[in-house]
Amino acid sequence: MARRRKRLSILGSTGSIGVNTMEVACGFPDRFEIVGLAAGRNVERLAHQIQRVKPRWVAVQDRDAASALERQLPAGHGKLEIFWGQEGYCRVASQDDVDMVVSAIVGAAGLLPTLAAVAAGKDVALANKETLVIAGEVVTRMLESTGGRLLPVDSEHSAIFQALQGNPRTAVKRLLLTASGGPFFGKTLEDLATVTPQAALRHPNWSMGPKITIDSATLMNKGLEVIEAHWLFQVPVDAVAVHIHPESIVHSMVEYVDGSVIAQLGVPDMKIPIAYALSYPERLPVQVPSLDLLALRSLTFYPPDVETFPCLNLAYRAARMGGTMPAVLNAANETAVDAFLSGRLAFTDIAALIARVMDAHDVMPADTVQRIQEADRWARETAKALVNGAEKVYEAFQNA
């Protein structure tokens, strides 16, 4: 008997993960049916995706984007329902006729739609690491009551998930996250003071959206991933270590109590972890180049330089403090990255700004969405005020 196709809703379909997910899912039309799509403002790309996969529901950021999308589509676009705003995203994430939600909206904007999917008991292929960073406790509690599952898409977490298969959780000693080191690996603080957004956006191995690419350059991406691993695999934060591995071939490792270390390797292509999340526990014959270790010859590993890249330790500090502090770390980081990308903040001030916002925060329990959102709002306002102050100093520095 032919098995029923898995019905997918892809949140963030117009982004880097979203487009890769479309490629994987469309490559296996007998396995997957894309029934929901959600994007921010890129209605042109979304309209193409709608023509290609004919979903039943889509959502965009606001009413204006919904009207713009309508204009891009041929008249009388079948049974398609168009929603907008957070409520619209949550509807696309929680429809009864959806089996799996791919959570790939960037940043805290992905929180409520992801929670809606978890609350509805969906399997969630999770790329949006920020959700677990800011609301790990709430998500964990929800999963316990709904029986839904999180399938990691983030390459390191997919590697760990794969390395855990068939082994007892009680035998895990440490998780070893690998980090490429980003485009500024080996640079000094002095070198970093004047780097441009253009240079920071040139990731050595991965092609990704702008926010995560800057996070890779500051090592905040790895800090967020430490917190993500803590919640996803239920291990203490201090049992998650980071090794710089500039080749991005070993995607992460699990060290067991008997001294065995199990790693997952592959070419740096997100189609691999995406396909595993979509098809788990099966494996799909995805179109990616074979890993040629003979051509590579060597794989290298270094300790992270936390003096030059302080964001990693800020994330460990936030995770140890717990409560609302990781939400504050994340919101301050999103504000700082945005300011850096628009030329209002120096690269080295990203970490300095986050540290100042964290120092000013009184930690609260992060046991409700309301408390998390309040902390997020406060951190953004505080960070913006600091950016406005720093901007004047930065302008003067650039004009000097």
Chain centroid to CA 68: 28
Report d(CA 364, CA 357) in Å as an integer: 15
Please identify which residue in 109, 142, 288, 369 interacts with ligand NDP, judged by CB under 6 A.
Answer: 109
| CA angle, residues 237, 110, 381, in degrees to nearest 5 | 80
Residue 20 lies near ligand DXP (rule: CB under 6 A):
no
Residue 215 near Mn ion by CB under 5 A? no
What is the Cα–Cα distance from 227 to 240, expressed in whole angstroms?
9
Q: Which does 384 bind (CB under 5 to 8 A by kind): ligand NDP, ligand DXP, Mn ion, none?
A: none
Candidates 9, 12, 24, 115: give the one binding ligand NDP (CB under 6 A). 12
The helix/strand/coil state of 319 is helix
Among 192, 212, 319, 354, binds ligand NDP (CB under 6 A): 212
- Cβ atoms of residues 92 and 38 within 8 Å: yes
String marking each residue 139-178 x if it binds ligand DXP according to CB under 6 A: ---------------xxx----------------------
67: annotated binding-site residue?
A: no
Q: Between residues 41 and 173, which has the closer beta carbon with respect to ligand NDP?
A: 41
Tell me: is residue 16 an annotated ligand-binding position. yes
Q: Is 209 in the site for ligand DXP (CB under 6 A)?
A: no
- Whether 17 and 270 have beta carbons less than 8 Å apart is answered as yes
Query: What values do phi and psi take at 152, rounded to 5?
Result: -70, 135
Cβ atoms of 96 and 102 within 8 Å: the answer is no
- Show the binding pattern over residues 264-303: x = contacts ligand DXP (CB under 6 A), - = does not: ------x---------------------------------
Q: Does 136 bind ligand NDP (CB under 6 A)?
A: no
- Of residues 214 and 390, the one with the C-beta less far from ligand NDP: 214
| Alpha-helical segments (H) within the chain | 16-26, 43-53, 63-72, 85-94, 111-119, 129-146, 155-164, 189-192, 197-200, 210-218, 220-233, 271-279, 293-296, 311-321, 325-341, 347-359, 369-399
**Rounded Cα gap, residues 63 and 102, in angstroms:** 23
User: What is d(CA 160, CA 273) in angstroms, rounded to the nearest whole number?
Assistant: 11
When asked if residue 49 is in the footprint of ligand DXP (CB under 6 A), the reply is no
Nearer to Mn ion, 34 or 270 (CB): 270
Choose among ligand DXP, ligand NDP, Mn ion, none what residue 351 binds, the Cβ cut-off being 5 to 8 Å by kind.
none
Residue 395 CB, shortest distance to ligand NDP, in Å, is 27
Confirm or deny that 20 is annotated as ligand binding. no
Does 154 help bind Mn ion (rule: CB under 5 A)? yes
Helix (H, G, I), strand (E, B) or coil at 72: helix
**Contacted by 209, from Mn ion, ligand DXP, ligand NDP, none: CB < 5 to 8 Å by type:** ligand NDP
Cα–Cα distances (Å) from 319 to 219, 237, 356, 366, in that order, read: 15, 7, 16, 12
CB-wise, 53 or 390, nearer to ligand NDP?
Answer: 53
User: 244-262: string of b/e by CB count within 10 Å (b at 16+)?
Assistant: bbbbbbbbbbbbbeeeeeb
Number of residues that bind ligand NDP (CB under 6 A): 28
C-beta of 119 vs 159, nearer to ligand DXP: 159
Site for ligand NDP in 261-300 (CB under 6 A): 270
48 interacts with ligand NDP by CB under 6 A: no
Residue 18 touches which of ligand NDP, ligand DXP, Mn ion, none (Cβ within 5-8 Å per kind): ligand NDP
Told to check if 7 binds ligand NDP by CB under 6 A, we report no
C-alpha–C-alpha distance, residues 225 and 154, integer Å: 8
d(CA 157, CA 251): 8
Residues 248/182, Cβ–Cβ less than 8 Å: no
Where is the binding site for NADPH, in residues? 14-17, 40-42, 128, 130, 209
Residue numbers at the binding site for ligand DXP (CB under 6 A): 154-156, 179-180, 182, 206, 212, 216, 221-222, 270
List of residues contacting Mn ion (CB under 5 A): 154-156
Binding residue numbers:
14-17, 40-42, 128-130, 154-156, 180, 203, 209, 216, 221-222, 225
